[in-house]
């Protein structure tokens, strides 16, 4: 039975993949119907049109034709989904229906779960990489916590790879492209005995960077950035010892050694002269007239390296045992995974030597997981039932460091003296006034004299910030999670089904950390605080602001030798109830309610209010209540699929990770709602080899109204004051995708075809603080491919292009550190703390990929 099921599944996947989505090598398009599309969204094989969930299912060929090699590529085929990366590829975030978790902090778990061959990847970045040989990908929208666990409150990306085959097979693939792209991968599969089969896949990819880099003061040597240089290997064994048992063992290893990512300026503010004066060359893009937007450019400025070294490895074992007496199957899935990333960063993204982090192990993080899942699933005439238990142990370590460049002290002097000069023109703008704040035994007269002379007189003995290492912090978070779950579908009648699912999750997390200033760091802060009595009569009410600049999180003496120790546990009952009614064989209507849960955690960073370190780094759990109502239609002799769903989701204590210009903070926003419509279609046309598919998502994702009193730290409200009642970031109102696949015999033993895929997104904001300068205009991405090969697919040559129209767009915009201010300290006429006329902030951005093109030769036997 187990072997028969395996072969049936393999055949079904081959038919759906090779025929349904554009290749006619196995059968003609007229023979294919919607009934061939099988998904496992409810942990059992079902026809797509029988599942009361919004599912976008993508076959191997569809993914190949769209150029999908990793999760980021996937978004072109999925309306309502965005995937972005920021300061490194380790900071990758997936969002569905405008909801996701910013990936810069490993203390936050994901809103969109990534599952590969049944194994949950707890952070989006941990699931980012070459996906290898794919059978299909299922994108499930809305909370999926009952079966896929916590941290799937926005949805799941369920990736199913090719498993070993008892039919011998070999394939190889060679790719060359612009930007020096070159790739080689291949696999071999076949039997080792009558009951044991294997599959081995290996691949390597290299490419030059998408950015040109002006290295300014140096010592950076690389003059490009965002390159690609990694390799991966994945081995599998499939053992079928009997008709009622199967074992699938998977082991994989990937390694990246790249440099990524720099940002480019999109708007340059009044701090430009200071950068220009301190760096070799201009140091950053010169400002536009009136400090408007600068022209789009892929020229970045960075004097320090952005190396990233990432290792990902793991092992999983899935065992299935059929139990005929119960008409059930017992499944055991055990996994161990370990992911490590060391990252270098030019903190200021300029040619000036202001601040940086080295990729020497002092900055980065690692995640180690051990999981065990047991499921028992069976069925009767009227009931499909499933019960299970899931246990995971996770260890996270984060190392954080900071290094002062030679230009940090003079740059901060420029900033402080310019601020004073704005209200007192007698104080010159100078690179030397830090000593005025830190001179031992400073007096009010001495401080005033020192400022008036630009630091030439009255600052004797004053110190700046020591060049080199400033701090080195370590964080260790351990978590244990146990969940009991059940999912059951009762067929009330032949037309009417009710599904009830429940999951009870128990989480416990502990944090141990050490925050340590090194190399005398904190001394300048301490000296300034010691002189506060002399400074206050001169600077008046602005004194706390200037002292805060001397005591930013990386220079604050209060963090020196600060030990952290916290623990917390919580439990949550989540679940779903669904009702579906089949009005006729071609039309099913359904409605559902689901409650999702995203675990609490710790903000693994230096966080302070004013100049006082935050006592606790804990943030609470996030929950979502989701309602959906939809229809699934199968028309035109079951060759046309039309599905539409209305959704209404309310998130409570939404975990927002935002960059405030000097540090990342996590705030729980009281309420976020996401409402709209998902619709998709798939048509196997009467024209042989031609299929069309696509979808559209209309979303209104908005924050509820809140005030400072509703936040865990009310002092964060000014930088979040644009959020109440506003549309969330990365939540375009309209998102639409479409693909066209055509393939047919050409005669003389040849076949040919082409594929186009496109994604449109209306305008949206790319910053979690919703500053207007971070708005991205509407845009459309187009990928294309032309293929020719042998009729039996022994060889195929593809000419391909991604971002065919070379669309210029921004992934994520952000505030350039220390380079101006966007928010004010008092409420402005519009009721927020933001006033466009007073915005002096320089804005940087991580860009989307440019047009890439090349050719790929595939050989199969």
| Each residue's pLDDT tens digit, 357-382 | 999 999 999 999 999 999 999 999 99
**For residue range 416-433, what is the model confidence (pLDDT) as tens digits?**
999 999 999 999 999 999
pLDDT at residue 15 above 50? no
Angle ∠(441,442,444) on CA atoms, nearest 5: 140
pLDDT score at 123: 76
Q: How far apart are CA 290 and CA 270, in angstroms?
A: 10
Closest CA to 350 of 842, 850, 808: 842
Kindly indicate the confidence band of residue 24, based on its pLDDT and cuts at 50, 70 and 90.
very low
Which 8-state DSSP code applies to residue 17? I
Number of Cβ within 10 Å of residue 687's Cβ equals 12
pLDDT score at 126: 63
pLDDT score at 17: 40
pLDDT score at 101: 82
pLDDT score at 121: 87
User: How many angstroms separate the most distant Cα atoms in the chain?
Assistant: 95
pLDDT at residue 467 above 80? yes
pLDDT score at 23: 34
Angle ∠(271,773,408) on CA atoms, nearest 5: 25
- Region 250-261: mean pLDDT is 95
**For residue range 643-665, what is the model confidence (pLDDT) as tens digits?**
999 999 999 999 998 877 677 78
- Region 8-15: mean pLDDT is 37
Share of the chain above pLDDT 90, in %: 84
pLDDT score at 156: 92
pLDDT score at 68: 84
pLDDT score at 31: 63
- 123, 110 contact by CB (below 8 A): yes
The tokens for 47 are: 């026809």
pLDDT score at 103: 62
- Region 602-623: mean pLDDT is 94
pLDDT at residue 674 above 70? yes
pLDDT at residue 323 above 70? yes
pLDDT score at 209: 97
- Region 808-826: mean pLDDT is 95
pLDDT score at 13: 38
Closest CA to 794 of 749, 844, 727, 841: 749
Kindly indicate the confidence band of residue 102, based on its pLDDT and cuts at 50, 70 and 90.
confident
Pairing relationship of beta strands 299-301 and 211-214 according to DSSP bridges: parallel
Kindly indicate the confidence band of residue 130, based on its pLDDT and cuts at 50, 70 and 90.
confident
pLDDT score at 19: 36
pLDDT score at 290: 95
**For residue range 747-806, what is the model confidence (pLDDT) as tens digits?**
999 999 999 999 999 999 999 999 999 999 999 999 999 999 999 999 999 999 999 999
- Region 342-363: mean pLDDT is 95
Question: How high does pLDDT run on average in the chain?
Answer: 92
Q: What is the pTM of this model?
A: 0.93
Number of Cβ within 10 Å of residue 472's Cβ equals 19
Phi–psi pair at 837, nearest 5 degrees? -70, -20
Burial 361-370 (b: 16+ CB within 10 A, else e): ebbbbbbbbe
- 447, 531 contact by CB (below 8 A): yes
Burial of 583 from C-beta contacts in 10 A (0-12 / 13-18 / 19+):
exposed
- 652, 594 contact by CB (below 8 A): no
């Amino acid at each position: 039975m187990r072997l028969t099921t395996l072969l049936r599944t393999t055949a079904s996947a081959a038919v759906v993949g090779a025929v349904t989505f554009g290749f006619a090598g196995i059968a003609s398009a007229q023979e294919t119907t919607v009934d061939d599309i099988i998904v496992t969204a409810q942990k059992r094989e079902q026809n797509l049109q029988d599942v009361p969930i919004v599912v976008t299912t993508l076959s191997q060929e569809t993914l190949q034709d769209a150029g999908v090699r990793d999760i980021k590529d996937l978004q072109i085929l999925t309306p309502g989904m965005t995937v972005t990366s920021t300061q490194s590829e380790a900071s990758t975030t997936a969002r569905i229906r405008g909801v996701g978790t910013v990936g810069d902090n490993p203390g936050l778990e994901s809103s969109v779960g990534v599952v590969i061959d049944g194994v949950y990847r707890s952070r989006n970045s941990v699931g980012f990489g070459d996906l290898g040989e794919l059978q299909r990908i299922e994108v499930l929208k809305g909370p999926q916590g009952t079966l896929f666990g916590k941290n799937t409150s926005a949805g799941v990306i369920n990736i199913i790879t090719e498993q070993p085959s008892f039919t011998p097979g070999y394939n190889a693939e060679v790719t060359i492209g612009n930007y020096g792209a070159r790739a080689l991968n291949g696999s071999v599969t076949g039997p080792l005995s009558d009951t044991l089969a294997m599959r081995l896949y290996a691949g390597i990819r290299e490419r030059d960077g998408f950015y040109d880099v002006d290295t300014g003061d140096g010592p950076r040597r690389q003059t490009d950035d965002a390159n690609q240089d990694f390799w991966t290997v994945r081995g599998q064994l499939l053992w079928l010892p009997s008709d009622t048992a199967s074992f699938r063992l998977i082991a994989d290893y990937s390694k990246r050694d790249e440099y990524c990512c720099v940002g480019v300026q999109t708007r340059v503010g009044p701090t430009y002269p200071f950068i220009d004066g301190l760096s070799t060359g201009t140091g950053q893009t010169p400002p536009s007239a009136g400090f408007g937007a600068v022209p789009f450019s892929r020229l970045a400025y960075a004097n320090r390296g952005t190396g990233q070294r990432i290792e990902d490895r793991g092992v999983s074992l899935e065992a299935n045992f059929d139990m005929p007496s119960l008409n059930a199957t017992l499944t055991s899935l055990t996994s161990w995974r370990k992911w490590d990333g060391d990252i270098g960063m030019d903190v200021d993204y300029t040619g000036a030597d202001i601040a940086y982090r080295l990729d020497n192990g002092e900055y980065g993080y690692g995640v180690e997981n051990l999981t065990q899942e047991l499921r028992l699933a069976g069925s009767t005439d009227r009931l499909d039932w499933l019960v299970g238990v899931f246990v995971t142990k996770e260890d996270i370590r984060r190392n954080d460091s900071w290094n002062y460049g030679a230009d940090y002290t003079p740059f901060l002097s420029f900033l402080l003296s310019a601020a004073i000069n704005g209200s007192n023109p007698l104080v010159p703008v100078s690179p030397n006034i830090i000593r005025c704040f830190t001179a031992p035994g400073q007096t009010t007269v001495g401080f005033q004299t020192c400022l008036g002379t630009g630091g030439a007189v009255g600052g004797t003995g004053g110190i700046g910030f020591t060049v080199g290492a400033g701090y080195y912090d370590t964080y260790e978070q351990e978590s244990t999670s146990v969940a009991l779950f059940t999912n059951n579908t009762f067929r009330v009648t032949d037309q009417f089904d009710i599904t009830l699912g429940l999951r009870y999750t128990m989480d416990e997390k502990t944090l141990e950390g050490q925050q340590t200033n090194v190399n005398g760091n904190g001394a300048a802060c301490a000296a300034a605080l010691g002189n506060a009595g002399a400074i206050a009569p001169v600077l008046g009410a602005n004194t706390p602001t200037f002292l805060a600049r001397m005591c930013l999180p990386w220079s604050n003496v209060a963090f020196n030798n600060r030990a952290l120790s916290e623990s917390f546990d919580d439990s949550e009952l989540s679940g779903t109830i669904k009702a579906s009614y089949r009005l006729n064989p071609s039309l099913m209507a359904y409605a559902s309610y689901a409650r999702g849960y995203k675990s609490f955690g710790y903000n693994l960073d230096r966080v302070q209010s004013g100049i006082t370190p935050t006592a606790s780094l804990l943030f609470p759990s996030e929950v979502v209540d989701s309602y959906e109502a939809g229809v699934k239609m199968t028309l035109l002799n079951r060759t046309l699929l039309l599905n539409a769903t209305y959704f209404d989701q309310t998130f409570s204590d939404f975990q927002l990770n935002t960059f405030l210009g000097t540090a990342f903070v996590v705030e729980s926003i009281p309420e976020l709602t996401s409402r709209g419509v998902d619709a998709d279609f798939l048509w196997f046309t009467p024209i042989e080899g031609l299929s069309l598919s696509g979808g559209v998502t209309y979303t209104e994702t908005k924050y509820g109204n809140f005030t400072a009193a509703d936040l865990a730290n009310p002092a964060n409200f000014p930088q979040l004051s644009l959020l109440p009642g506003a549309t969330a970031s990365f939540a375009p109102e309209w998102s639409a995708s479409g693909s066209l696949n055509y393939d047919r015999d050409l005669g003389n033993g040849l076949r040919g075809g082409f594929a186009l895929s496109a994604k449109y997104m209306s305008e949206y904001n790319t910053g979690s603080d919703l500053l207007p300068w971070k708005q991205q205009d509407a845009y459309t991405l187009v990928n294309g491919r032309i293929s020719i090969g042998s009729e039996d697919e022994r060889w195929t040559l593809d000419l391909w292009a991604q971002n065919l129209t070379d669309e210029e767009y921004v992934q994520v915009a952000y505030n350039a550190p220390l380079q101006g201010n966007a928010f004010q300290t008092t409420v402005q006429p519009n009721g927020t703390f933001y006033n466009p006329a007073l915005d002096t902030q320089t804005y940087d951005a991580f860009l989307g990929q440019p047009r890439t093109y090349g050719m790929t030769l595939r050989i199969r036997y």
